[in-house]
Amino acid sequence: MSNGIRSLWKNEDWWAVWFGFVMIAASLSGFVTRVPKLGKWTNDPLTALGIGSEDGSILLPLLVLMIGLGVLTTIGIAIMRAEHPGKYAVGFAGVFVLACIAYWIANQADIKYWGLSYALWALLVGLLISNTIGTPAWLRAGAKTELFIKTGLVLLGAEILFKKILSLGAPGLMVAWIVTPVVVIFMYNFAGRVLKMVNKKLAIIIACATSVCGVSAAIAAAAACRAKKEDLTLAVGMTLIFTVLMMFFMPLGIKWLGMNDVLGAAWMGGTIDSTGAVVAAGSMLGDTAEQVAAVVKMIQNVLIGLLAFFIAIYWVTRVDREPGQKADIMEIWYRFPKFVIGFVGASILFSFIVLPLHQGDFGLVESTYIKPVTRVLRGWFFCLAFVAIGLESNFRDLVSRMEGGKPMVLYVVGQSFNLILTLFIAWLAFMIFFPNAVQ
């Protein structure tokens, strides 16, 4: 068997693609029509589990989900020989329970109101364990951070519908695709030339998280440059904190300034570092603003795969290349995160096959496949990933990566530049060049 064929069964990136498409196939075939998720609760914690509700408890569906995802991923783990299958299965069950706890905390009504997402709580739950009692070996065996992350990103591709992206046309593309690469390049160069940051991997992760969509972009960038988990943890932690602040204060500032709602929505869609936070912030300005903000962010999300591709090339040809050493094109392919192929493939499948088969009805596709299945599964895999990141990180390593506060300075300066440039381009796009783009 050639190395190329063998990599399809031994490479973690490819297994993320297989896992993602197995779950997508299960959804499209009708084999899986709904994936359980914890509900919102106020005073009674059991409400989150559906105990006492008309729909009934979700404890059994959660158990089935845990077993199903456990069996699916254990198959890949066993074939890759990444861990003893039995040890992984036990550890996975533990990580899944912790992910449930993170979701349970995040769904408390007051916490949910403040926008403190499951990703933050998953990270904190893992960090609490690793920095107090220490992560036990049996639990660490199930903490396969990158496998969970990459699988979640493949599933994210199903949510990127090209026809919906094009609904905003040229102005949406201007805001998302002109600003994003400029901000990434600006921040990376600012980190190296002005701040003199030693950790280039952390710099590019922060730059991508700031300019694209926070967590997802940070994950893709980290995979492309092979960053350490501590770098990803630090970048994501900063991003989540500022995302909450921007989600609340940007809509208030837009209203206070009397800014046009569409302009304000495009501004938020291009700068707030989370799709969920963008939708929440946009809803504060009205239904039209919510849709504009969400579509601008979706257009940005398309760049996740391209950024990962170019980062992989740049790292091979410039950062990791020894002086006088010629870059090997096969090394670029080796470094290229293969899950991006799954991300793009899922987007193409839903955009050009699934959507046309449903007469272009976005609502039907989303309500039948995306919202009840692929989006929920993507959330579960991201939650598992952030629990795993926390379990494998410690505060001492995180502090050592702060370089005297330089990463924080990089984020603040970069986000400030992002805010100014995005507002200017959004004004040109929606107010000057295409004033009637949104009716």
Q: What is the pLDDT of residues 262-275, one digit of tens each?
A: 999 999 999 987 77
| Residue 104 region by backbone torsions, left for phi larger than 0, else alpha for psi between -120 and 50, else beta | alpha
Structure tokens that stand for 231 in this block: 């770098």
Indicate the SS3 state at residue 421.
helix
Q: What is the mean pLDDT of residues 401-406?
A: 82
| Residue-wise DSSP of 172-183 | HHIIIIIHHHHH
Q: Which range, of 151-160, 364-373, 410-419, averages the lowest pLDDT?
A: 151-160
pLDDT at 1: 44
| Share above pLDDT 70 across residues of the chain, in percent, rounded to a whole number | 93
Range with the poorest average pLDDT among 36-45, 89-98, 366-375: 36-45
pLDDT digits (tens, 9 = 90+) for 285-328: 887 888 888 888 888 888 888 888 888 888 888 777 666 556 56
259 token code pair: 């800014």
Neighbours of 229 (CB within 10 A): 18
In this prediction, residue 402 carries a pLDDT of 77
Quick one: angle between helices 275-283 and 261-271, nearest 10?
A: 160
pLDDT (tens digit per residue) in 212-268: 877 778 888 888 888 887 888 888 888 887 887 888 889 989 999 999 999 999 999
pLDDT of residue 403: 80
Q: What is the mean pLDDT of the chain?
A: 86
pLDDT of residue 338: 81
